[in-house]
Structure 1
Amino acid sequence: MVAHSHHKPEKRKVKKVSSNPRKRQKQERKRLNPLIPCPIARKAWNDRKSVALNFRNIGLVFNLNKIKPNRYKPRDESSDKRKRPVRNKSKALQRYEEAINQANEKEGEDFKIKISRAEIDFSKAMIAEYGDDYEAMSRDTRNYFQETPNQLQARFKKYYRYKDTPQAQKRVRLTGAVPKVHHARNKKKKEEAKHKKMRLKIKRIVRKKK
């Protein structure tokens, strides 16, 4: 008598396909339009080609192990002497690099140094009169906050960083011209002229009373 096996044959796994037409359409779109965050790479992507071939066309490497050098492989000195052909960058990679450079330039323009109009005028006046003599600056009557020479030097470092930026050029264009710097000597002359006028006025009043 032959014993019959009750073991059932394994069924072949079949990929489930949704009966819902909308769901099938969504799955098809997802297959044809992979989620690629970079807009330039997404535009250059070809759905009819493999992932590795798409990477090669964009200028990227799909398998990093292929470019990793073998540390145990003996080095051939003659191969070093031969010049390897320079691989041209793809247009998609060039556009990607240009977009990054433009973003970096814009980021540099958007960066602004926080400095007030009063700080700019004060820094210009002190530098025009004393140069880099911070000791003399600290004794000036316009040093209202009684800053030390080291504090003044740190303040003017910020001004030097500011004056060569596009931010400073933009402020000059908006105001129309560079603001005038009032030096201590000019201020002293104005005060002397004012006192002189007052003395003459007092003398006239005294003469009239006599």
Structure 2
Amino acid sequence: MSAEIRKLAVFVEEVHSEMGQAVSPPTRKAAAVAVIRNPFAGRYVADLQPLFDIGAELGGLLGRKCVEALGISPSQAESYGKAAMVGEDGELEHAAAILHPTMGKPLREAVERGAALVPSSKKRGGPGQVLDIPLGHKDAAYVRSHFDGVEVWLNDSPRPGEIMVAVAVTDSGRPLARVGGLKTNEIEGRDGLR
């Protein structure tokens, strides 16, 4: 099953200054959002395989859109995350089915590598509600400078029979990060932790 996309949106945030301190180069985050028809809205379906397939399709599409919006090569992506919000006629498991079984592999291909788990969140909501996308370093979960998040919302999404699916990618960590942890130049990138 292919995703029936009603709307795509891409956002880029750049931070140039924080607490009166210059951030150079600016930290940048991109988020890409797809609003799709929920094929199972309003009814219980035991086999959610079609949503697994949609997750794989959207992982690659949205990951590539983020990398393109940042104007970087896939190898320059540093952190990533994913999230989904089902409309009121959907089931929370519909969001999980899109996010978990198959979305990770094509997203990792879009950002080149990705040894660490992709942070995720899922919720039920309606038009205009905020969807939080958690972020973590793509190759090493212990890089605290990249524990972050980004919010997205669309004034008309998700409608009752829709799912809003989002991916975020950054080319840096938080601005002025200074809480310790593994540094990016210390990453081994083998086990997803260090």
TM-score normalised by structure 2 residue count = 0.16
Q: In proportion to residue count, which structure has more helix? A: 1
Q: In proportion to residue count, which structure has more strand? A: 2
User: Which structure would you say has the larger RCO, counting Cα contacts within 8 Å and 6 or more residues apart?
Assistant: 2
TM-score normalised by structure 1 residue count = 0.15
